[in-house]
Structure 1
Amino acid sequence: MPLGPGSDPSWTQSLLLNSVDVGLVLALTYLVLLIIGERRTLWMVRGLIILMLAAAASNKLKLTLLHFVLDKLVIGSAVAMAIILQSEFRRFLEQLGRGEVVQLFRPVRRTLPKPDSVIDEIVDAVKELSQNRIGALLILETTGPMDDRDFSVPGVKLNAEVSKELLQTIFQTTTLLHDGAVYISGSRVVAAGVILPLSDRTASRQLGTRHRAAMGITERVGNCLCVVVSEETGSISMAERGILNRPLTSSKLKELLEARFSPAVDREAVAPGLLSLGRQIGSKVRVVVRRVLRLPEDKK
């Protein structure tokens, strides 16, 4: 008589190995979600996972041509994502290299500007600078801390509260820091006089060095945006992911910043807590094991 699944050692070993395999893949996926921490980018990760699952299924079904096409798509998508998310992957590899494995499971704490206070101060300062045709460049941190190595020159550390008066004073042409950018994280002015890398893309002749710098840093780093005030025309622009949105009115700038830093959007969890995730996975595994081994359901 053939042995049942419960009495076959090889079957039990195979089930254990498959469970470990699935658990490791889930843990890796969870780490990726924590590293990304941005819902817009999360859709790209989901698309890559779907492609990987489709490639694995086509291989199991012996669909040779379809598996070949999907396999190449997975490789191309992975390379594209590595370029797009280079700052996130760099942070992951740095923490992994330093042995900070526990920190990988901790979500990045976000210090976001509050629409009713900090954004008002920024918009009021930009409005005044625009009316007086004083050039300005502000870097606003979005979903996580930036690295000083992303800047050509880190600038002078300030660590001061964001205020309209402080921003206007920094960009006055008589100050030593007016030529660089101001780096803002949450409600703090972290540094001033920051020199940014310039974009290599061909830009309009109407765009000066500040606009190219705003495009350059947002091309390189995905977790920031830049607000620019033109010294020649006083026009207001905002750059994000290398794309320059211009010209803007002060009211339109406020609308864009409030939408970008909306607490309702940013407080939404991208990945669940580790303990909660573990409980969910454990309950699913128990259900599958009970069904496979035909064990009685738990009575509540």
Structure 2
Amino acid sequence: MEYLIGFNVAWREALDILLVTGIYAYIIHLVRGTRAVAVIYGLVLVLLVYWLSNELGLYSLNWLLTNFLGSIVLIVIILFQGDLRRALAQMGAGRFWKKAQLSDAIVDELAQAVMSLAKAKVGALIVIERYEPLGDVAERGVPLDAIITASLLSTIFQVGTPLHDGAVIIRRGRIAAAGCILPLSSKLKAQSLFGTRHRAALGISEESDSLAIVVSEERGTVSVALSGRLTTSLTDQRLRRVIKNALER
């Protein structure tokens, strides 16, 4: 009987540890690539020090950390509300239960269009929806619901066409909308190398988990923005890898 009771307690403890570990891993996966990752690791360190201070009888340190932990939740919410909002949106979107993949044929059409526009030094901005829905962004532009082809994308961004200044939104393997207005990031304000398209690409990647592709009309270079980070001067092959890797994460 005592053996069964002991086994029951051990089973519950194991389940408790497994659930906590799973939740922690899930949160890390959600906020990966954002500033919140460093905060989570910092909180784990603080909790470890708090536990040690309690075990070793370091009362002053324990009192200090107790008061700190009492207000840390509010501090984190205020400082990282954008990252938390995005993480919660991804949870609501069922990130682990659906895949935002594009076929190889569609990736080929995208890469072909982007490289063609870059060679001609025609500015372009293409945003690919991943797990977090971009329906609200698409609604700000002109709805298309068109098949993705290199020729159509090239036509949309030609100078003089009504939609060339806005962004194209790719959703569920189709061109959902064009001429969309995106939020601008403040990170690149002081850098003259980057224009409004780059700031818009970085801005949408900060507010969602989408992948944004930018073609510079001044330099004819290709850049991508993902998770608030801008990568520049991509080749055709590297662009294809970035698109595929981003949609498989």
TM-score, normalised via structure 1 length: 0.62
Using a 3 Å threshold, how does the CA distance of structure 1 residues 233 and 49 change in structure 2: closer, same or farther?
A: closer
CA shift digits 1:235-268 (9 cap, x unpaired): 211112332212222233223223333x4xx4xx
Given the alignment of the two structures, is residue 136 of structure 1 paired with residue 124 of structure 2, yes or no?
yes
The match for 2:48 is 54
Task: Please name the residue that 2:201 is paired with.
Answer: 214
Q: Write out aligned runs for 1:14-163 (5 A).
A: 26=19, 30=23, 33=26, 37=30, 47=41, 50-51=44-45, 54=48, 57-58=51-52, 60-61=54-55, 62-64=57-59, 65=61, 68-69=64-65, 72=68, 75=72, 78-79=76-77, 82-89=81-88, 107-114=96-103, 116-142=104-130, 144-149=131-136, 151=137, 154-163=140-149
Aligned 8 A contact 2:30 2:90 in 1: no
CA contact (8 A) 1:58 1:67 kept: no
* 1:177 correspondence with 2:163: yes
CA RMSD of aligned residues (A): 4.4
Identity level (%): 32
Distance between the aligned counterparts of 2:43 and 2:239, measured in 1?
Answer: 36
Most deviating of 65-74 and 120-129: 65-74
Identify if the C-alpha distance between structure 1 residues 91 and 107 changes in structure 2 by more than 3 Å, giving closer, same or farther: closer
The two structures have a TM-score, normalised by structure 2, of: 0.73
Q: How does 1:216-231 map to 2 (within 5 A)?
A: 216-221=203-208, 223-231=209-217
Aligned residues: 241
Q: Unaligned 5+ residue runs, structure 1?
A: 7-14, 96-102, 267-300
After superposition, the Cα gap between the structure-2 partners of 1:67 and 1:47, relative to the gap in structure 1 and judged at 3 Å, is farther
Supply the AA of the counterpart residue of 2:26. Answer: L
Between the aligned partners of 1:234 and 1:112, the Cα distance in structure 2 is 27
1:260-279 paired onto structure 2 within 5 Å = 260-261=246-247, 263=248, 266=249
Which has the higher mean CA deviation after the structures are superposed, 117-126 or 242-251? 242-251
Q: Secondary structure at the match of 1:248?
A: coil
- Where does the alignment leave 5 or more consecutive residues of structure 2 unmatched? 4-8
**Post-superposition shift, 1:213?**
0.8
Aligned equivalents of 1:189, 1:152: Cα separation in 2 = 10
The Cα of 1:210 is off from its aligned counterpart by: 0.8
3-state SS, counterpart of residue 244 of structure 1 = strand
Instruction: Give the secondary-structure state (helix, strand or coil) at the position aligned to 2:223.
Output: strand
Give 2:174's match in structure 1, choosing from 188, 208, 220: 188
Contact persistence 1:148–1:154 (CA under 8 A)? no
The whole-number CA distance in structure 2 between the counterparts of 1:134 and 1:180 is 13
The 1-side partners of 2:126 and 2:64 are apart by: 47
CA distance, structure 2, for counterparts of residue 148 and residue 206 of structure 1: 31
CA deviation profile, 1:166-200 (whole Å, cap 9, x unmatched): 21121122432111101113422221111001112
The correspondence for 1:165, drawn from 151, 161, 164, is 151
How far residue 123 of structure 1 moved from its aligned partner, in angstroms, is 0.7
Cα distance, 1:254–1:195 mapped onto 2, change above 3 Å: same
Matched residues in 2 for 1:249 and 1:35: separation? 31
- In the alignment, the residues of structure 2 paired with residue 34 and residue 54 of structure 1 have an alpha-carbon distance, to the nearest angstrom, of 18
Q: Which amino acid aligns with 1:136?
A: A
Q: In the superposition, relative to structure 1, how do residues 47 and 81 fare at CA in structure 2: closer, same or farther (>3 Å)?
A: farther
Greater Cα radius of gyration, structure 1 or 2: 1
Counterpart Cα distance in 1 of 2:217 and 2:185: 19
Deviations 1:27-86 (A, max 9, x none): 896499389657667966973774475266346524331573487479278445544232
Q: Distance in 2 between the 1:83 and 1:63 partners? A: 36
Letter in 2 for 1:138: I
